[in-house]
Amino acid sequence: MPSPRTPVPPRLTIEDSYLELLADTLESLDLPARGQFLQRYFLAITHLDLPDSQCLQLWDEMLTRRRMLSDQLGRQVSLKTTLMDVLSTAGLFRVPILIEYEDLKKLQLNAVTDPLTGLHNRRLFGETFEKEINRARRYGLPLGLVILDLHRFKEVNDKHGHPRGDEVLRAAAATLIKTLRTSDSAFRIGGDEFALLLPQTDAAQGLALSRRIETVFEETVQPLQLSVRVSMDHGVATFPLDGEQADQLIRVADERLYRLKHANHGRSVSRATTAPAQETPAPETPERSTSTPRTISIESKRPTEKTDEVLSIAASAAAAGISLQPGSAQAPPVAHTYPRKAERVSMGGTNAYALLGEQGGRRARVLDLGFGGVALEMETTENLPESLLAILHVPILPPVRVNLKPVWSRRTGEGQFRVGCCFVS
């Protein structure tokens, strides 16, 4: 039993106890394994990315310094103290600051987070964009970039005040968080500007997601009861089709954003100036009645909204000036039953397919989609009926039931058949 006058050594903290255990464990490892572990350890606790050899040298200096200080002071010196002393002496910590680990993590999070919306900020956007481009280039995968901004947002601030404008920005952020996949990233890069990074996403998928975001945003902002109809416009660019560098893709997405914005704004102004000054709706004209019919669900006999969403993607592509089917084989000139209203959306590079027939026993690859129909790839056209039921499985959307009428077919260079079908009700 120690004498009452003998000083009791202080109890080690949990962190110091961990360091003591770490020192004992490292003694049993060979040099290569010890160096790899110390390299990751120094990176984790000091954010210093040092080579293995330097980490081994610093660790040995720390143990030597600890023995020397313990002998001079007559008591055991903690490894944490000697670690700070060695790193400062080596010039790696020029102005060392002590801070709690939790406080440090909060500072790091605040440095890359927009305080109003909770999204990532522009600083992290630049860092993440470069990493995603390098990953897409390494694995040969597409990468989608979407630039969005809020149309008439300034009018919201002018008429309702900046606090209500902040609510609109938070509604936009909530829309992005609700709509995106876990692999996607959303950033606020300006006042009312946002950016999305979509790994493994081509142009057609990026456009489909952008249109979905527009719809969800309209629903999210409705409870605010604004007198200004604020909406979300988008511009889409894809790696490597539209560029292989971040600045190129941003420039292309910005150009398409403002091209689409001006097109939409021009149409709304035209409708406002030419609208008849009468409350009763205009009668249906023969010209309007001959437009492309909406797809009808077999079970409900009602228009299928999801199908309209898929087919209207082509409208965004045309307005934004995006060519969605570069290099694809074009069908020969034929007399289509329904006129095309926009470019077709290529499904190349995706796993889009269609199950044909009531039982879905026949499978065909979906080559592209348009307002009036769909192009399928089949092994043979034998026993192909004049009209058939199909279930389309395309990216972004759930399965869609449609009625198809084959109108032309031709053999491809691979021995398959490309069959053009129109949608019918």
The CATH number covering residue 176 comes to 3.30.70.270
Same domain for 367 and 310, yes or no, is: yes
Q: For position 402, which CATH number holds?
A: 2.40.10.430
Pair 84, 141 in one domain: no
Report pLDDT for 323: 44
pLDDT of 71 higher than 60: yes
Report the SS3 class of residue 395.
coil
What does the pLDDT read at residue 37?
86
Is the same domain home to 132 and 84? no
133 and 259 co-located in one domain: yes
Distance CA 357, CA 391 (A): 9
The better pLDDT of the pair 276, 359 is held by 359
Evaluate if residue 186 carries a pLDDT over 80.
Answer: yes
Distances (CA, A) of 267 to 171, 229, 415, 418: 26, 15, 45, 36
The total number of structural domains that make up the chain: 3
Is pLDDT at 40 greater than 60 in this prediction?
Answer: yes
- Tell how far CA 361 is from the center of its chain: 35
Based on the number of CB atoms within 10 Å of its own CB, is 300 exposed (0-12), middle (13-18) or buried (19 or more)? exposed
**Whether residues 174 and 242 fall in one domain:** yes
Structural domain harbouring 51:
14-89
Residues 216 and 344 in one domain: no
Q: Are 126 and 259 members of one domain?
A: yes
Question: pLDDT class for 12, splitting at 50, 70, 90?
Answer: low
Average pLDDT along the chain = 77
Spell out where 173-269 has E strands.
185-188, 193-199, 231-239
Residues 244, 346, single domain; the answer is no
Q: Is residue 105 part of a domain?
A: no
Kindly report, residue by residue over 295-348, the tens digit of the pLDDT: 333 333 344 444 444 444 445 555 544 444 433 333 333 334 444 444 678 887
Of 20-24, 90-94, 283-287, 338-342, the one with minimum mean pLDDT is 283-287
Rounded CA gap, 408 and 424, in Å? 15
CA separation for the pair 282, 379 (Å, rounded): 48
pLDDT confidence of 18, banded at 50, 70, 90? low
